[in-house]
Amino acid sequence: MPGDVCLIAPSGRQIDRFLRRNPQYAQEYLTDSFWERRAIAMRYAPLEMVRHLPHDADEVVRRVVASRLPIDDLGDYLRDPDREVRMTVAARIAPERLTALLGDDDYLVRLQVAKRLPHGQLPRMANDEDREVRKEIARRLPTFALRLLAKDEDVEVRRIVASRVLSDDAMQMLGDADWVVRLEAVQRAPLEDITELVDDDEPEVRAAVRQRLNDFLQGDDK
């Protein structure tokens, strides 16, 4: 129906429906005065035309552009004032270029970086000020490097570490103040070191210690 598809209507839904069916008109509206019309036109216009436009004043338009540009053309958007533009760049740019965003002011941008940063660079983010970023680092760090976060101030970070840590490093976490961390460490620490927790204050920790000891006596644990 005409009311459902209209390029001139101040409705993003109607504009999108029109240009989806008639993309040949998109290039005519890349500099339109209405930001939403420009943003939608950016989705459907030929990429070569989008690439050669100056940076738009509207952040929504720039987000669309950042989602379409070839990854080698994203460098100019690394310092964009809009965090969602930078998040889009962090999600798409070549992993080896992510170091340019390690010190970004916004934790959501750094979180996106933490999800894609090459493993060899992850230790550089182990001291990030935001716990959500450190939690992602704890999930992705190679197990031999998890000791970097074994004494993290945040219990949720330490729980992730304890669930993945190597045996010798797990031993260092048996005295953690959090019982879930101790429980995870008990599953991984050397058998001879967990006996000190046989009388732990937490019933689940005590049960885990006894289960491992019983498994050892039955030949199921080492």
The tens digit of pLDDT for each residue in 32-71 reads 999 999 999 999 999 999 999 999 999 999 999 999 999 9
Q: By three-state DSSP, how is residue 5 classified?
A: coil
Confidence of residue 203 (pLDDT cuts 50, 70, 90): very high
The tens digit of pLDDT for each residue in 138-197 reads 999 999 999 999 999 999 999 999 999 999 999 999 999 999 999 999 999 999 999 999
CA–CA gap between residue 25 and residue 22 (Å, rounded): 6
Q: Where does residue 131 rank: exposed (0-12), middle (13-18), buried (19+ CB within 10 A)?
A: middle
Among candidate residues 99, 102, 55, the one with its CA nearest the CA of residue 81: 55
Q: What CA dihedral angle connects 179, 183, 189 and 194, to 10 degrees?
A: 80
Rounded to 5 degrees, φ, ψ at 10 are -80, 50
CA–CA gap between residue 12 and residue 36 (Å, rounded): 6
CA–CA gap between residue 80 and residue 43 (Å, rounded): 19
Listed by start position, the domains of the chain span: 1-69, 81-141, 143-222
- pTM greater than the 0.85 cutoff: yes
